[in-house]
Copies of this chain bind each other. A is one copy, B any other.
């Protein structure tokens, strides 16, 4: 029997899905907005067929909600939703850190070290646009966390984390605004890194959990401030 491809999935209207996902995460199609298939098809330059598949997939991932005969809506997150997700994230990433402590390779450690250093340096750098800065920070942060998941050596854990972390950036970007929070975040990164170097899984888990709960609290704080602002007369759905 001829060998089937080893790769999971790639190329073609899988790209439609990737683009849709990106659009959702980056905040075009804001939470709560309707996702009319024809419109998406035109935006992405394809027919409705691949769009539909992408929507089904995004729904399975929790990024959109599909109401039968009524269409898809970019998922909106209540505060309770965010609490649930962060709770699971702490559980899963904490576990990932625990596992990683016993298996991480020097190469992976180096990658994490580089990401942590980049985040620290960025405090003293200036960027052309605020957007660029946020993008850079989000990316380096993703490298740090994804490397841990990778080092844990559990493919399904990686998949689950990708699902959980796929919350629209909109909700997370403010996180990177203030210097104080970034410094604390950097401190957590260093603590986690140290624990991993020492092979101390318990400590790595504990620090990772605290790191994530800290992020959650910052998010909720700003979320509350935002909803207060909205309550005073600001609208975001056309």
Chain B residues with CB under 8 Å of A164's CB are 156
Cα A56 to Cα B154 in complex, Å, equals 23
Task: Assess the B156–A62 pair: CB atoms within 8 A.
Answer: yes
Taking CB atoms and an 8 Å cut-off, the chain A residues in 42-79 that contact chain B are 49, 52-53, 56-57, 59-62, 65-70, 73
Stretch at the interface among A23-31, A84-92, A110-118, A213-221: A84-92
Chain B residues with CB under 8 Å of A5's CB are 67, 70
Instruction: Tell me the minimal C-beta distance from A175 to chain B in angstroms.
Output: 20
Chain B residues with CB under 8 Å of A85's CB are 156
Taking CB atoms and an 8 Å cut-off, the chain A residues in 1-17 that contact chain B are 4-5, 7-12, 14
Instruction: Tell me the minimal C-beta distance from A220 to chain B in angstroms.
Output: 16
Chain B residues with CB under 8 Å of A189's CB are none
Cβ of A211 under 8 Å from chain B: no
Task: Assess the A154–B53 pair: CB atoms within 8 A.
Answer: no
Chain B residues with CB under 8 Å of A10's CB are 68
Chain A interface, DSSP helix/strand/loop, else mixed: helix
Task: Assess the B87–A154 pair: CB atoms within 8 A.
Answer: yes
From known contacts A57-B60, A60-B57, A91-B92, infer whether A155 and B9 are also in contact, taking CB-CB under 8 Å. no
Chain B residues with CB under 8 Å of A159's CB are 62
Cα A159 to Cα B154 in complex, Å, equals 19
Chain B residues with CB under 8 Å of A91's CB are 91-92, 95
Task: Assess the A68–B11 pair: CB atoms within 8 A.
Answer: yes
Chain B residues with CB under 8 Å of A69's CB are 12
Task: Assess the A68–B160 pair: CB atoms within 8 A.
Answer: no
Taking CB atoms and an 8 Å cut-off, the chain A residues in 116-160 that contact chain B are 154-157, 159-160
Task: Assess the A88–B57 pair: CB atoms within 8 A.
Answer: no
Q: Which residue on B lies nearest to A7, using beta carbons?
A: B67
Chain B residues with CB under 8 Å of A60's CB are 56-57, 60-61
Q: Which residue on B lies nearest to A13, using beta carbons?
A: B68
A residues contacting B by CB (< 8 A) are 4-5, 7-12, 14, 49, 52-53, 56-57, 59-62, 65-70, 73, 81, 84-85, 87-88, 91-92, 95, 154-157, 159-160, 164
Known: A4-B73, A49-B49; 15 extra A-B contacts, CB below 8 A, are A5-B70, A7-B67, A9-B59, A9-B65, A11-B68, A14-B68, A53-B56, A56-B57, A57-B57, A57-B60, A81-B156, A84-B154, A84-B156, A85-B156, A91-B92
